[in-house]
């Protein structure tokens, strides 16, 4: 048999190279993904490389198929069974790949149209346009059914009251068990996680939004909203929630934790709410005795110290501390949750400003252990940086 022409030999080499690169583009991503899963080094570090290389695999396979095909044609199809088998396998693989790419293109087109329809509903909510919201849901159909609660969050955040009413009429609910929730941050640095629409309206001090959402909220969502109202000093909204059936004696945000609404107020240095609870309802400024609730909660002083850890430069810390002490709070009361006094907790949570204020108010430093004294010295040598946020922070809760 005569030797193949030079062009055919070059194409053979090209085919071998394409096959090698094709195998490499499959093997390397597989190895990188396996390595990333077993030894994670950070999100999408090697995984992104693997995805890029994996996308090259069908392209390289196509190049290899073309090279083999041209080689076989130059040899006038006088090739062995092995190459014919390779061509047949590659043809099947490419046909399957083209079919999958076609399905993916159709799915991408469908997702794009769905995103447009959902985007139209969100835009209608932002415009506070109930007619456009109803029309948007009619066009979107079942694909938007699971968006109702998330849209309700969006409407509560935007104070879009007509949109809230329209979404409630369409079946949205500010339920505590909804998967739709979002976090907010106050302008001074507190983070409020996993809020329902009712809690967002309370946090935003939106009385009209609360009036719309409160009748539709379940007991757990109302309880959480009352805790947020106490924490953020929304006294009028707290009173409305109590009038709607939230018990004044609730002992925790979500679960019974041996903590009262005074703890909620202390966790935000909410002076109006705390004064009302202490004066009008006789709350104990030292907190519930250990064992009187369903869990091991904190003293109000401990909750205030944790607030100072998040907002070290708060102007309300000292007045709140004076309020508790004036009402008879016991400075040396052990907090059931930690087994420590407020002064010891201030060292633990690196709240230097709270520590100095407590000592200035008469807290005894004799309770500190050697380890706590060493930590205090370290804290004084390297004070924690201020974490106070600017009031101009976009979308923060004031």
Asked whether 241 and 213 are in contact (CB, 8 A), the reply is: no
Give the tens place of pLDDT for each residue, 96-132.
Answer: 656 656 666 777 677 778 788 888 999 999 999 999 9
- How is residue 31 written in tokens? 């190895």
- Whole-angstrom distance, CA of residue 321 vs CA of residue 317: 6
- DSSP, collapsed to helix, strand or coil, labels residue 307 as helix
Q: Distance between terminal CA atoms of the chain?
A: 88
pLDDT computed for residue 95 by the predictor? 66
pLDDT-derived band of residue 145, with 50, 70 and 90 as boundaries?
confident
User: Which residue from 187, 192, 199, 200 is spatially nearest to 226, judged by alpha carbons?
Assistant: 199
Mean pLDDT to the nearest integer, 238-252: 93
Give the tens place of pLDDT for each residue, 36-70.
Answer: 556 555 444 444 554 555 555 566 666 666 766 66
pLDDT computed for residue 43 by the predictor? 45
Task: Please determine, for residue 265, whether its predicted confidence score (pLDDT) is greater than 90.
Answer: yes
Give the tens place of pLDDT for each residue, 204-225.
Answer: 999 999 999 999 999 999 999 9
Give the tens place of pLDDT for each residue, 168-209.
Answer: 999 998 877 767 788 899 988 899 988 999 999 999 999 999
Asked whether 317 and 266 are in contact (CB, 8 A), the reply is: no
Task: Please determine, for residue 347, whether its predicted confidence score (pLDDT) is greater than 50.
Answer: yes
Phi then psi for 75, rounded to 5 degrees?
A: -85, 10
- Whole-angstrom distance, CA of residue 356 vs CA of residue 354: 6
Beta bridge partners of 185: 191
pLDDT computed for residue 5 by the predictor? 57
Share of the chain above pLDDT 70, in %: 68
pLDDT computed for residue 18 by the predictor? 58
pLDDT-derived band of residue 147, with 50, 70 and 90 as boundaries?
confident
Which of 2.60.40.2550, 3.40.50.300, 1.20.1250.20, 1.25.40.20 would CATH assign to domain 276-387?
Answer: 1.25.40.20
Asked whether 335 and 299 are in contact (CB, 8 A), the reply is: yes
pLDDT computed for residue 35 by the predictor? 59
pLDDT-derived band of residue 30, with 50, 70 and 90 as boundaries?
low
| Better pLDDT: 295 or 397 | 397
Give the tens place of pLDDT for each residue, 284-311.
Answer: 998 865 545 555 678 999 999 999 999 9
pLDDT computed for residue 44 by the predictor? 45
pLDDT computed for residue 97 by the predictor? 58
Asked whether 241 and 223 are in contact (CB, 8 A), the reply is: no
Evaluated on CA atoms 204, 224, 194, 311, the torsion sign reads: positive
Looking at every residue in the chain, the average pLDDT score rounds to 81
For 81-104, letters b (16+ CB in 10 Å) and e give eebeebbeebeeeeeeeeeeeeee
pLDDT computed for residue 296 by the predictor? 67
* 52-55, Cβ contacts within 8 angstroms, sequence gap of 24 or more: 53/25, 53/28, 53/29, 54/25, 54/26, 54/29
Share of the chain above pLDDT 90, in %: 46
Give the tens place of pLDDT for each residue, 9-25.
Answer: 555 565 566 566 555 55
């Amino acid at each position: 048999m005569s030797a193949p022409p030079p062009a055919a030999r070059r194409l053979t080499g090209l085919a071998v190279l394409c096959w090698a690169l094709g195998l490499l583009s499959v093997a390397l991503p597989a190895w990188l993904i396996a390595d990333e899963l077993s030894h994670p080094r950070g999100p999408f570090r090697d995984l992104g490389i693997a995805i890029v290389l994996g996308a090259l695999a069908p392209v390289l396979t196509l190049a290899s198929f073309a090279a083999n095909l041209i080689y076989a044609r130059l040899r006038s199809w006088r090739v062995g069974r092995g190459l014919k088998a390779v061509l047949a396998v590659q043809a099947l693989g490419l046909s399957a790949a083209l079919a999958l790419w076609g399905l993916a293109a159709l799915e991408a087109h469908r997702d794009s149209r769905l995103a447009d329809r959902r985007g139209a509903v969100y835009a209608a909510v932002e415009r506070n346009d109930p007619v456009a919201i109803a029309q948007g849901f009619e066009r979107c159909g079942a694909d938007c059914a699971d968006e109702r609660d998330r849209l309700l969050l969006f409407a509560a955040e935007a104070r879009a009251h007509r949109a809230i009413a329209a979404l409630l009429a369409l079946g949205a609910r500010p339920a505590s068990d909804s998967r739709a929730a979002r976090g907010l941050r106050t302008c001074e640095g507190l983070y409020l996680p996993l809020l329902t629409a009712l809690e967002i309206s309370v946090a935003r001090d939106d009385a009209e939004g609360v009036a719309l959402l409160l009748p539709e909220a379940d007991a757990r969502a109302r309880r959480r909203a009352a805790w947020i109202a106490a924490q953020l000093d929304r006294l009028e909204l707290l009173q409305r929630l109590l009038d709607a059936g939230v018990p004044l004696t609730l002992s925790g945000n979500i679960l019974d934790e041996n903590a009262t609404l005074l703890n909620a107020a202390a966790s935000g240095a909410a002076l109006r709410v705390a004064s009302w609870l202490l004066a009008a309802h006789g709350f104990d400024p030292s907190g519930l005795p250990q064992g009187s609730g369903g869990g091991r909660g904190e003293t109000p002083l401990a909750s205030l110290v944790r607030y100072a850890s998040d907002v070290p430069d708060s102007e309300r810390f000292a007045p709140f501390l004076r309020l508790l002490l004036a009402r008879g709070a016991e400075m040396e009361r052990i907090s059931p949750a930690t087994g420590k006094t407020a002064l010891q907790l201030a060292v633990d949570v690196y709240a230097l400003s709270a520590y100095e204020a407590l000592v200035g108010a008469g807290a005894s430093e004799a309770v500190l252990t050697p380890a706590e004294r060493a930590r205090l010295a370290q804290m004084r040598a390297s004070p924690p940086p201020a974490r106070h946020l600017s009031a101009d922070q976009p979308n923060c809760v004031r």
